[in-house]
Amino acid sequence: MTHKLKAEWLLFTLNPLEVQLVENELKSSCSALDAMSIKELDIKLQVYQYAYQVSFSVDDGCHKESLLSAVESASQTLKFDYCRLLSVKPIKLAVFDMDSTLIPMEVIDELACEAGVKLQVSEITEAAMRGELDFNQSFEQRLSLLKGMSEQAVEAVKSRLSFNPGVEAFINYLSEQGATVAIASGGFVPFAEALCSKAPITKIAANQLMFNQGQLTGAAVKPIINAEKKAIQLQQWQKELGLENGEVLAVGDGANDSFMLEVAGLGVAYKAKPFLRRRADCVIQQGGMDGMIDILKGLDQAVS
């Protein structure tokens, strides 16, 4: 006999959703779904206009990947952000990727622009973000192309740093709630440190830049902060702070963030590639980063 399991999600939108459209979209991607119900949540929202709790049953033989793909596909068509209905505690550690997550740029691409090798570096960056290249190799290839770049050129890129929409509001919210905010990045320490001067970010794990006589050597300083190192660092910070898994949140946008999101109690894909969206607990595509304030409040209300 086939058993049915219950799956629940929270959906957040800027426009009202039609129940039948949601059901049709989900079933078109995963035929194992049925008996869906949807209700609007009565919560005060800051970024979104509407929040919904969706419940449906699914065959216990349905693969988790199929279910995640179905929700992700529907979100793209119907323009909603979403989060699995999880029982999470107040967040006490939030770990962010930096490039294209906290900031709208890939720093190494900006450095490459200054060095006149933007096209070559961007092609390697995109392939790495899609999960098509080993991060360490791609990192070393890109960095080697920057050999001879001056410290002044690096400072010029640092002066252009700005946060993505809603980032400062969300970080300030987390800090006010007593959370430690950290950066775990495959990018570079000087840029992460610059962001710490703009917002209450207190922990950093990122790659070093090596200079010789005022010029980049193009050599990578080991160990390289890759996907595995990010996840390990998150767990070390969690242990140092004496936190439970449900008190830890991680946010990223690419394949290099996948392990970090997996080990966190709540993994968030922000404006992310499909690879990561299908592996995350929460996905933000429509709202800004401050949409996570609404999502955390929605989770708290739905499970209480």
Return the SS3 of 236: helix
Distance CA 164, CA 144 (A): 28
Distance CA 188, CA 155 (A): 12
Output the CA angle 248-295-237, nearest 5 degrees: 10
Long-range pairs for 194-197: beta carbons < 8 A, 24 or more residues apart: 194/158, 194/161, 195/98, 195/102, 195/103, 195/161, 195/163
User: In sequence order, which residues have a C-beta less than 8 Å from that of residue 302 and are 6 or more positions away?
Assistant: 8, 10, 41, 53, 85
Q: 42, 59, 60, 97: which one is catalytic? A: 97
Tell me, yes or no, if 99 is annotated catalytic.
yes
User: In sequence order, which residues have a C-beta less than 8 Å from that of residue 1 and are 6 or more positions away?
Assistant: none
Q: 99, 109, 290, 294: which one is catalytic? A: 99
Tell me, yes or no, if 42 is annotated catalytic.
no
Q: Judge whether 80 and 19 are in contact, CB under 8 Å.
A: no
Distance CA 52, CA 126 (A): 34
Q: Judge whether 275 and 258 are in contact, CB under 8 Å.
A: yes
Q: What does DSSP say about strands 211-212 and 215-216: parallel, antiparallel, or unpaired?
A: antiparallel
Distance CA 255, CA 273 (A): 8
Nearest alpha-carbon partner for 225 in 256, 264, 261, 203: 256
Catalytic residue numbers?
Answer: 97, 99
